[in-house]
Chain A
Amino acid sequence: MLRRFETYALAPGASGDAVDRLESAMRCCAAHIPEVLDSAVGWNGSDAPVQLVWEHAFADPAAYRRYMAHPFHATVLDRFILQDSPECVVAPDTLGAGLVGYQLTSPRYRLSSGLRRLVLLRLDAAASPGAWGALGRRLAALVGEVAGMAVSVPAENTLGAAWFDGETPVGPPPRWTHLWEQGFTSSAALAQYLAGGHELAAVERAGTEGWRQWSGGMVRRTAEVHYGIVGPGG
């Protein structure tokens, strides 16, 4: 499977009506493109410079390629997000997370309702895959250790570079090399985790320097977005 996130900062002066149409296009995309799975839209509550987040998934790269070339993508979604479109309502991406995502074998990210959190990690270029593997396993284990944490999926940001076909890197390497996708049962659960005594909560409270120390210098930079997930009935 491919798990994918798009994050957007709204252009100054973008009309509320146009932004509503973009959000609506994202929300109803799966009705037009059945390859789009587990689609949800949220408004970022962190201080990262993005407002709108669209999360979704695809069964495989072939499904992703059908989405990329689908008329709804070109005619409706891109109308609001391509920088040269007269109807563009988004600003250039300064966070470096306009499109990020990863591969996985089963939809372990699923969260019917609650709060989604995506921690963006930039690892040192010299970090070995083995070192990341150990760190990733430690992050994944949090789902059984932190009350209210329902999802914890660390992964390499493979889609950041392979955004065109889901497999082949194009363009420069992504700013954020790795992702840590989380799901909490509620915003209160996230707040309790961040304020609590867990080892990783202390690391996160200390910010990038905390990550550097905890990871032995492997994590060089971090950022995060979080937003509420509304269930299918909401």
Chain B
Amino acid sequence: MLRLVDTSEVETGLVDRFLSLVRDLAVPVMTDAGAELVSCAAAPPGLGEPVCVEVVWEVADFETWNGIRRALVLDPRWYEYGSAASALRSGGRRRFVVPVPWSPRPAPAPPAG
């Protein structure tokens, strides 16, 4: 099992727009491609720093991710999401992680909407 963890830094005033973008565009694009949304979480606002938004996806393995990446690259909506997300965030990072054997596996997030 493999998790893709995208952490974005978003200015407080843009967080709602960023979260809507994730819900309305990233989730359908990624799930149509074969990834499963594990969680979407945001840091509390008002801390005097950009808000950290963490989106976690789950895929079976790197072979599966390769097929998902193919679907993403061929999906015009993915480019739309990438461009819009880039305009809203001020930084961030992307990491793939593998849950350790003793880690509980959280239930998948319910469908958006």
Contacts and interface: CB of A to CB of B under 8 A. Distances in A.
B8 to A, nearest CB: 5
A82 interface: yes
Interface residues of A, number: 20
B29 to A, nearest CB: 8
A70 B66 CA distance: 9
Interface stretch (A83-91, A116-124, A219-227): A83-91
B79 A92 contact: yes
A74 B82 contact: no
B79 A83 contact: yes
Q: Which secondary structure dominates where chain B touches chain A? A: helix
A170 B74 contact: yes
Nearest to B70: A164
Interface residues of B, number: 28
A140 B95 CA distance: 44
A79 B95 CA distance: 8
Contacts, number: 61
A70 B63 CA distance: 8
A86 B66 contact: no
Interface in B11-36: 26
A147 B96 CA distance: 49
Q: Which secondary structure dominates where chain A touches chain B? A: loop
B82 A83 contact: yes
Contacts of B26: 84
A85 B73 CA distance: 13
A47 B50 CA distance: 38
Interface of B: 6-9, 26, 62-63, 65-66, 69-70, 72-74, 78-79, 81-83, 85-86, 89, 91-96
25 contacts: A11-B86, A70-B62, A74-B62, A74-B69, A75-B96, A78-B94, A79-B93, A79-B94, A79-B95, A82-B82, A83-B82, A83-B83, A84-B6, A84-B78, A84-B81, A85-B94, A86-B6, A86-B8, A86-B9, A86-B85, A86-B92, A87-B92, A88-B82, A164-B70, A170-B74
Interface of A: 11, 68-71, 74-75, 78-79, 82-88, 92, 164, 170-171
